[in-house]
Amino acid sequence: MLRITFKSLLARKLRLLLTASSVVLGVAFVAGTLMLGDTLNKTFDNLFVTTYSGTDVGVRGKAAFDVSVTDGGDSAQSRPPVPASELAQIKAVDGVKEAEGDSSGFAQIVRPDGKVVDTSGAPTLGGAWLGDTPLNPYRLKTGKAPTATGQVAIDAATADDNKIKVGDHISVLTQAGKGNATVTGIVTFGESGSLAGATVTLFDPGTAQQVLGSPDTYSEILVVGNGSVSDAALRARIAKTLPSTLEALTGQQLADKDSGDIKDALSFFSTFLLVFAVIAVFVGSFIIFNTFSMLVAQRSRELALLRALGASRRQVNRSVIVEAAAVGVIGSTIGLGLGVLLSIGLEKVVGLFIGDLPYSGLVFRGNTVLWAYLTGVIVTVVAAAGPARRATKIPPVAAMRDDIALPESSLHRRALVGSATLIAGVAAMAAGLTAGAGILWVGLGALGIFLGVAMLSPFISRPSVGGIGAVLPRFWGSTGTLARENARRNPRRTAATASALMIGLALVAAGGVLGSSLVKSANAIIDRSVGADFIVTTKNFAPIPATVAKDMQAVDGVDAVTEFRAGQAKIAGSVASLQGVTSDTVDRTLQLDMVRGNLDALSKGELVVSDKLAKDKKWQIGTKVPVVFGETGKTELTVGGTYKENQIAGNYLIGLETYDHNFTQDLDQVVAMTVKPGADLTAVRKDITAAAGASNLEVRDQSEFKAEQRKQINMLLGLVYVLLGLAIFIAALGIVNTLALSVVERTREIGLLRAVGMGRRQVRRMVRLEAVIIAIFGTLLGIVLGVAIGSALVNALHDQGIDQLVIPIGQLVIYFAIGSIIGVLAALWPARRAAKLNVLKAITTE
Amino acid sequence: MTAETHPTTAGATTAAARAANLSKIYGKGDTQVVALDNVTVDFPAGQYTAVMGPSGSGKSTLMHCLAGLDSSTSGEVWLGGTELSSLGDKELTRIRRDEVGFIFQAFNLVPTLSALENITLPMDLAGTSPDKEWLDKVIDTVGLRDRLRHRPSELSGGQQQRVACARALASRPTVIFADEPTGNLDSKASGEILTFLRDCVRTMGQTIVMVTHDPAAAGFADRAVFLADGRVVDEIADPTAESVLDRMKNLDAPAQAGS
């Protein structure tokens, strides 16, 4: 029996390949994502191992809370700096050979030509040149080390990319403002490496302390032992001397912790990509299911013969399952290979977001292989289980008969199971969206909805396909009629093929609704609450030195200038994002509807919060709220006012004075300003742009700011669409597969049509029109479903300020057109095959 | 039989279909099979010809070549005034659609189309509208008026073959080729179809070439042509089941002059 299975498998290599292709793509995505994750992890492991390679023990502030890196948090904000006075004490600990205070912070390089070095989002690191000690992870490549203010060393990659040489005069933007410096040296990280696309600017330790942190603190103190005791023992000795706000960690612990932080942030990307991999695999399973259903139907006579010759039901069942498993193994193997290529491509995608990564070699772990095969084989076998079961129901007598009708599972049961799945899906999604059960439930709900609709779609496929195809006979006569009837003749097959496409398009349409609603809501918020005439931001959310705001204030015609700074703190027991704003101008640049109190509270060092939050927490004006700032520790802030929910303000506002007191880094996220009445906007804008100086600053008026929000949302959506493209591509392969198998199945019929005078072009058109009908059916189902899901999402996000539901008709029309074109493209090859059939052979086919 | 419907000497001018020195060879070298060996035969217009012969005699190949379904190795095939062997797929498709009607043994109808749609299919494919009067006449002749909206699966085997006959007739082709048209039918339905075909020739002047190995079927024809080993070995005018059966028995004997 097994031999027969494999023989039949090998006899139809093309079919095997087509079936496997849907497995291949899904598995490739899974494997590629896993490999990417492993590769990124290794990259950052290496990075931090190098950073702390010469460090035996490090001393730094204890984190008061875990910052959320994905929310734009900076782990430095969660820890107090190390008082400079600790250095002497640590040096005195027995077993310490050397100890140095390190300062790190924001330092952006401005090239000699005045252009800011753009890292596309990668960090712009500033640090101290720790001299010729093992503690210094940098090595001088050329030139000399910086020894005084006005001298810097920069990393070799940045120097090469920007053609900066030793002796060049550059500027460096830090929180202390813009400073001029001469490049005295070019350094490498470790022996030869660069730092994951980041730029590095090294100052002499004194200057570093001044411009990156504060004069009497360090960000870390690094220690190298004299070898008399182990790192762990040395760590324990040092820890004893430290106040409770500081901690000592071995070099290994430091490396693990820091790379762990980054990995947590990056795991978001892997999860994000895995979601799309799951979608691809899910769509692929429809194709596999459909293919095996068709294969069993086509082979029913052969299977009946086997049954007649004495094969048991189990053997028939097993032969189908084994064939599926074989397809799964072959598909997984090819998919694994393709995954290697894909992971390289995905790394580039990730690079768009966090900057170019050094290619430290692809990490290929056993786990990836295991998951690839598990996914491929399990999905194929599960998808083929139904068809396999149906194969066992073929009666042996079918071998003797001409008219073999494969027993179909009852439609009654299908309706029941389909409805139940659909309802369960809707319920799960509703729970995820409203009851706060979480995003996982939303995903499971979507899965249930798709499965349910797919199961129910055969019921609507006959009338819908008839309706969609109703116009065909008018344009294409009997060719059109034939195409329509072909699409109608097997509702299950049409429905399963269309469902695969439906999933991709539903997600695209849901994204379209969500994106459009986001844009409209964001615009409405900007209209409602932005009072500023000009808004200054940077590319890739790089911070802005506080000096920029001062320079703006000096521009003739500028009235109120407000700085916006971001930070995280533990407020009333949970980590939250807050904004520091210029207390006396914020009421003019940001229009807040105050519910209670007023914004003057900010200058008094009080906390102003959103009204909804205050109600949730039952805070009144005057309530003292416990706040833990990472760098300065526990304090209490009094609630001085509440405002009506506002996306730009967020939940918490504090005055700039309060912010400066509790955060070391004086860097703005956004600078907003109003213009004096009567001032010439064009002239002021020109002056602002000139004063902004640094080329990475972008000055926008309100309408440009809106356009920018739209651009950002669309960019994100674009990425989602690219990833969904894979699912849609797999669905298109499904159409190819279904049509190709249909053509084989209808060989005789096509032969007859050709014999009675159908031309090759007409045959091609017939197949093509059938594909288009199936594609349009799937597309319409998907769009309807997607609009429903998208609307539900928007509705659920009402509390997050997304209060405008937009159904983007124009976009939906485009998706519809794309769906139809997919049909045409998918039919190209099957149509050619059908047209090429030899008439005589076709009509004499058994 | 009158001489008018049964010319004894078929000239190229009056032949609806004609094979001249037609050979068809499959394969090469040792595996070479000669399906048709220098066959010359005429099928006069308005005549009902049965092509007889045992399996492998080349009768189906001859029909396929005459109908533009298969290409010949050498020789000429004439259908009406057209020589087929030099034509490409496009022209052959047109010939099949406009000049030829087919009735196969089985699987004659497109399952997704109704009986009427099946009948008018060749004209629909050509984009021409059927001659309404003629169509009515054909439908009445096959007696299917009350079944026109039915799908093939809702018709009996005999009814399906009648629809196939109607389709073949509807476009008034130069020749109708019937390949064992009663092979799948019981004797009653067979008799109906064969009578019907003969009537088409008599009353409508249709030319029919029927391939069969059933002497009873051949008995309905005006003329029987016998093939063996790819050659025309004999022919009988006004055959009867008995005379055909008689002749068939002797087919294994060396071919006699008279073809």
> Which chain B residue lies closest to A749 (C-alpha atoms)?
B110
Query: What does the pLDDT read at residue A201?
Result: 93
Tokens for A620? 């009144």
> Which chain B residue lies closest to A478 (C-alpha atoms)?
B124
Tell me what the pLDDT averaged over chain A comes to. Answer: 84
Instruction: Give burial (CB, 10 Å; 0-12/13-18/19+) of B188.
Output: exposed
Distance (Å, rounded) from C-alpha B15 to C-alpha A338?
A: 64
Residue A81 in contact with residue A142, Cβ under 8 Å?
no
- A756, B107: Cβ pair inside 8 Å? no
- B113, A485: Cβ pair inside 8 Å? yes
> Which chain B residue lies closest to A486 (C-alpha atoms)?
B112
CB contact B150 to A (< 8 Å): no
Going by pLDDT thresholds of 50, 70 and 90, the confidence category of residue A300 is confident
- B125, A477: Cβ pair inside 8 Å? yes
> Which chain B residue lies closest to A487 (C-alpha atoms)?
B112
B176 contacts: CB under 8 Å, gap ≥ 6 = B100, B101, B102, B103, B168, B169, B197, B200, B206, B207, B208, B209
CB contact A754 to B (< 8 Å): yes
Going from the C-alpha of A701 to that of each of A50, A524, A533, A540, A732, the distances in angstroms are 45, 15, 6, 18, 44
- A754, B113: Cβ pair inside 8 Å? no
Of B96, B110, B117, the CB nearest to A757: B96
Contacts of A485 in chain B (CB under 8 A): 112-113
Closest CA to A273 of A361, A350, A197, A356: A350
Query: What does the pLDDT read at residue A652?
Result: 92
- A756, B97: Cβ pair inside 8 Å? yes
Query: What does the pLDDT read at residue A399?
Result: 64
Residue A558 in contact with residue A684, Cβ under 8 Å?
yes
> Which chain A residue lies closest to B98 (C-alpha atoms)?
A757
- B107, A749: Cβ pair inside 8 Å? yes
- B113, A843: Cβ pair inside 8 Å? no
Chain B: nearest CA to A13, how far in angstroms?
A: 26
Instruction: Compute φ and ψ for A756, nearest 5 degrees.
Output: -90, 10
CB contact B96 to A (< 8 Å): yes
Residues B207-245: tens digit of each pLDDT:
999 998 888 888 899 999 998 888 888 888 888 888 888
Secondary structure of A388-422 in HEC code, one letter for each residue: HHHHHCCCHHHHCCCCCCCCCCCHHHHHHHHHHHH
Flag whether the pTM goes above 0.90. Answer: no
Going by pLDDT thresholds of 50, 70 and 90, the confidence category of residue A694 is low
DSSP-based three-state secondary structure for B37: strand
Distance (Å, rounded) from C-alpha A156 to C-alpha A50?
A: 16
CB contact A832 to B (< 8 Å): no
Query: What does the pLDDT read at residue A814?
Result: 92
Give the residue, A509 or A301, on which the prediction is more confident. A509
Least confident of A18-22, A54-58, A209-213, A505-509: A18-22
> Above 60 in pLDDT, residue B108?
yes
CB contact B89 to A (< 8 Å): yes
Return the domain boundaries, chain B.
Answer: 15-249
Distance (Å, rounded) from C-alpha A207 to C-alpha B111?
A: 88
Contacts of A755 in chain B (CB under 8 A): 67, 69, 96, 102, 104
Of A482, A760, A843, the CB nearest to B110: A482
- Which residues pair with residue A535 across a beta bridge? A672, A700
Contacts of A477 in chain B (CB under 8 A): 124-125, 127
CB contact B90 to A (< 8 Å): yes
> At residue A433, what is the residue type?
L
Going by pLDDT thresholds of 50, 70 and 90, the confidence category of residue B125 is confident
CB contact A834 to B (< 8 Å): no
Contacts of B117 in chain A (CB under 8 A): 478, 481
Residues A355-390: tens digit of each pLDDT:
555 556 677 888 889 989 998 999 889 888 888 888
Of B89, B107, B167, the CB nearest to A756: B167
Query: What does the pLDDT read at residue A390?
Result: 83
> Which chain B residue lies closest to A488 (C-alpha atoms)?
B112
Of A754, A759, A840, the CB nearest to B64: A840
Going by pLDDT thresholds of 50, 70 and 90, the confidence category of residue A715 is confident
Closest CA to A730 of A289, A313, A341: A289
- A758, B111: Cβ pair inside 8 Å? no
Going by pLDDT thresholds of 50, 70 and 90, the confidence category of residue B7 is very low
> Above 60 in pLDDT, residue A163?
yes
- B110, A752: Cβ pair inside 8 Å? yes
Contacts of A472 in chain B (CB under 8 A): none
Of B64, B70, B89, the CB nearest to A760: B89
Question: What's the whole-number mean pLDDT along residues A549-567?
Answer: 88
For residues A282, A286, A287, A293, the Cα torsion angle rounded to the nearest 10 degrees is 150
Of B96, B108, B125, the CB nearest to A478: B125
Residues B151-170: tens digit of each pLDDT:
888 888 888 988 998 998 88
**Sole residue written with tokens 């024809």:** B221
Distance (Å, rounded) from C-alpha A153 to C-alpha A167?
A: 10
Chain A: nearest CA to B3, how far in angstroms?
A: 32
Closest CA to A83 of A659, A633, A819: A633
Residue A172 in contact with residue A201, Cβ under 8 Å?
yes
Q: Which of B110, B161, B180 best probes binding to A when mutated, by most A CB atoms within 10 angstroms?
A: B110
CB contact B87 to A (< 8 Å): no
Contacts of A839 in chain B (CB under 8 A): 69
Residue A267 in contact with residue A68, Cβ under 8 Å?
no
Contacts of A752 in chain B (CB under 8 A): 104, 107-110
Determine what percent of chain A is predicted with pLDDT higher than 90: 17
Q: Hey, what CATH topology would domain B15-249 get?
A: Rossmann fold (3.40.50)
Distance (Å, rounded) from C-alpha A43 to C-alpha A363?
A: 10
Query: What does the pLDDT read at residue A776?
Result: 92
A167 contacts: CB under 8 Å, gap ≥ 6 = A143, A182, A183, A184
Chain A: nearest CA to B254, how far in angstroms?
A: 31
- B69, A749: Cβ pair inside 8 Å? no
Of B64, B93, B112, the CB nearest to A757: B93
Residues A228-238: tens digit of each pLDDT:
888 899 999 99
Question: What's the whole-number mean pLDDT along residues A605-630?
Answer: 90
> Above 70 in pLDDT, residue A404?
no
> Above 70 in pLDDT, residue A769?
yes
> Above 60 in pLDDT, residue B259?
no
Q: Which of A401, A403, A478, A493 best probes binding to B when mutated, by most B CB atoms within 10 angstroms?
A: A478
Query: What does the pLDDT read at residue A384?
Result: 87
CB contact B132 to A (< 8 Å): no
Residues A730-759: tens digit of each pLDDT:
888 888 888 888 888 888 888 888 888 888
Q: Which of A402, A493, A756, A839 best probes binding to B when mutated, by most B CB atoms within 10 angstroms?
A: A756
Query: Count of A–B CB contacts within 8 Å?
Result: 76
Order of all β-strands in the sheet with A57-61: A96-102, A220-225, A57-61, A246-250
CB atoms within 10 A of CB B29: 5
Secondary structure of A485-553 in HEC code, one letter for each residue: HHHHHCHHHHHHHHHHHHHHHHHHHHHHHHHHHHHHHHHHHHHHHECCCEEEEEHHHCCEECHHHHHHH
Residues 424-483 (A) with a CB less than 8 A from some CB of B? 477-479, 481-482
Distance (Å, rounded) from C-alpha A557 to C-alpha A456?
A: 66
- A757, B97: Cβ pair inside 8 Å? yes
Give the residue, A275 or A408, on which the prediction is more confident. A275
Residues A788-828: tens digit of each pLDDT:
999 988 888 877 777 888 889 998 999 999 999 998 898 99
> At residue A498, what is the residue type?
A
Of B70, B109, B112, the CB nearest to A840: B70
Which ranges constitute the DSSP H helices of chain B?
59-66, 89-98, 115-126, 132-142, 157-170, 187-204, 215-218, 241-249
- B102, A754: Cβ pair inside 8 Å? no
Query: What does the pLDDT read at residue A167?
Result: 92
- DSSP for B102-126 reads EE-SS--S-TTS-HHHHHHHHHHHH
- B113, A481: Cβ pair inside 8 Å? yes
Residues B191-211: tens digit of each pLDDT:
888 998 898 898 888 999 999
CB contact B29 to A (< 8 Å): no
A341 contacts: CB under 8 Å, gap ≥ 6 = A28, A32
Q: Which of B93, B96, B109, B185 best probes binding to A when mutated, by most A CB atoms within 10 angstroms?
A: B93
Q: Is the dihedral of CA A136, A142, A143, A148 positive or negative?
A: negative
> Above 60 in pLDDT, residue B13?
no
